[in-house]
Amino acid sequence: MSEFVTSTIDPAAPSAGLPEGLVIAASQAEIDGLVAADTAGRFAGVRLCRLAPDDPLPADVLSEARLLVLEVDTAKPASLQRIRAIRSQRRALPVIAALRGMDVAAVRMLVHQGILDVTELPFEADELVSCLEEAHARLAPIPDKSGIAPLIAMVGGVGGSGTTTVLTHFAAHVARGRALDTCVVDLDVQSGEVAYYCGHTPRITIEALLSAGDRLDKDLISSAVIDSGHGFAIIAAPEKVLPLDEVNVDQLLNMLAILRRRYALVLVDLPTDWTSWGLSVADACTAVALVTDMSVASLRQAKRRLDLFEQVGIGSDRLQLVANRVEHKVFKSFDLDDAAEALGRNFIAALPDAGHEMTDAQDEGLLLFDTRRRTKFEEAIAVLGNALLGPAEDYR
């Protein structure tokens, strides 16, 4: 075991807006490199612990930490065991893993262990400050604005519009970036993939809740909840195809009402095939986001759904348009303005096509946020969050 050294450069110095109780534990070379690079003195008031990546974290440091940045060497079993021990002893402690190289498999493993975020080694002062500021925002208290949570539905103009991709990334954004206790309900009862996109195979699905009758209560619902590993909860779609006409609308609305009292935000992934119960859910929503790509066929179907919503009384105050897989090319026959004109309303957000990087992440049960940071897609998701929920500052 190497010698353990803990220090604070200037105990009286403020930590430059960083979270109180921040501890950074890494090898001496990594800590010394951070101190040398921090010419602005932003980490002067932060507790710095110099210890090898496979050494145990001292009990007094662990007990006092309120946010921990911890070096993890995935090649050393003792380093992985250390992080499991920390998670076991203080499950509620937010931990940011510092890794040398963003190996997808390693990131996935750490995310599923409940890590708040990851940052890359060697430390780069500006990058680490940004990561910590985001963590600070995620840990801000949840505002108590009403007795019942907002209910937001997302639905595609056609199948394959990327609605589930948008929904899962939006859920992670609001759960982490706004510290909203969020639950995603996969109501695509014939082809729902929310749980699988997050790398989970569900044991109990929404089918058990819809067939529970009078037994439906918060405890039964809790038994079906899956921790996504990305900051939000999931109630998964059935593994087998459930006939659309077997969904009891009263049972479904009762379940959503219970969830809205339990969580700060409830998101639902609706099927593209419309039913009476689907319209009932949409009518109960605070907002409905219709997701479409820029193909002529998708826009045609989106226009039909806009007309349907208008017929059943879901007005423009609750109905929003989201453009997905928007490509920015010099030569194109149909752009965002053309699409908005054809549909008779503007888009609240335009999400760029993330291509193979998105599919590679999803194949690993990860989000794009986990493998790449500060992408155009992430920026567009933040815009979507502001449009549907208001400015992020309102949640801090």
Residue 338 has pLDDT above 80, yes or no: yes
Confidence of residue 14 (pLDDT cuts 50, 70, 90): very low
Give the pLDDT of residue 11: 44
Higher model confidence: residue 244 or residue 194?
A: 194
Angular region, 142: left φ>0, alpha ψ -120 to 50, beta rest: beta
Tell me what the mean pLDDT of segment 69-90 comes to. 88
From residue 102, how far is each of 32, 72, 73, 105, 166 by CA, in Å? 22, 11, 11, 9, 23
Confidence of residue 371 (pLDDT cuts 50, 70, 90): confident
What is d(CA 227, CA 122) in angstroms, rounded to the nearest whole number?
31
Residue 359 has pLDDT above 90, yes or no: no
Residue 10 has pLDDT above 60, yes or no: no
Confidence of residue 13 (pLDDT cuts 50, 70, 90): very low
Give the pLDDT of residue 244: 83
DSSP letter for 68, please: E
- Assign 61 to helix, strand or coil: helix
8 A C-beta contact, residue 52 and residue 1? yes
Residue 390 has pLDDT above 50, yes or no: yes
Higher model confidence: residue 347 or residue 101?
A: 347
Q: Indicate the average pLDDT of the chain.
A: 84
pLDDT tens-digit readout, 276-314: 899 899 989 999 999 998 888 888 999 998 988 888 788
- Domain residue ranges of the chain, discontinuous segments joined by +: 22-139, 151-389
| E strand map for the chain | 5-8, 22-26, 47-50, 67-71, 95-99, 117-120, 151-156, 182-186, 225-227, 233-235, 265-269, 287-292, 319-326, 347-352
What is d(CA 233, CA 225) in angstroms, rounded to the nearest whole number?
6
| Residue range 151-389, CATH number | 3.40.50.300
Tell me what the mean pLDDT of segment 226-245 comes to. 90
DSSP letter for 121, please: S
- Domain 22-139 coded CATH 3.40.190.80: no
8 A C-beta contact, residue 212 and residue 258? no
Confidence of residue 148 (pLDDT cuts 50, 70, 90): confident
Burial of 147 from C-beta contacts in 10 A (0-12 / 13-18 / 19+): exposed
Give the pLDDT of residue 12: 43
Closest CA to 129 of 238, 252, 251, 43: 43
Tell me what the mean pLDDT of segment 231-245 comes to. 90
Confidence of residue 330 (pLDDT cuts 50, 70, 90): very low
Confidence of residue 395 (pLDDT cuts 50, 70, 90): very low
What is d(CA 346, CA 384) in angstroms, rounded to the nearest whole number?
13
β-strand partners of 67 = 22
pLDDT tens-digit readout, 262-271: 999 999 999 9
Tell me what the mean pLDDT of segment 100-120 comes to. 77
Give the pLDDT of residue 361: 86
Give the pLDDT of residue 121: 93
Give the pLDDT of residue 269: 95
pLDDT above 70: percentage of residues in the chain: 88
Residue 138 has pLDDT above 70, yes or no: no
Give the pLDDT of residue 113: 66
Tell me what the mean pLDDT of segment 332-343 comes to. 77
β-strand partners of 50 = 5, 26
Tell me the range of 130-139, 183-192, 353-362 where mean pLDDT is highest.
183-192
Q: Which two tokens stand for residue 203?
A: 């044991």
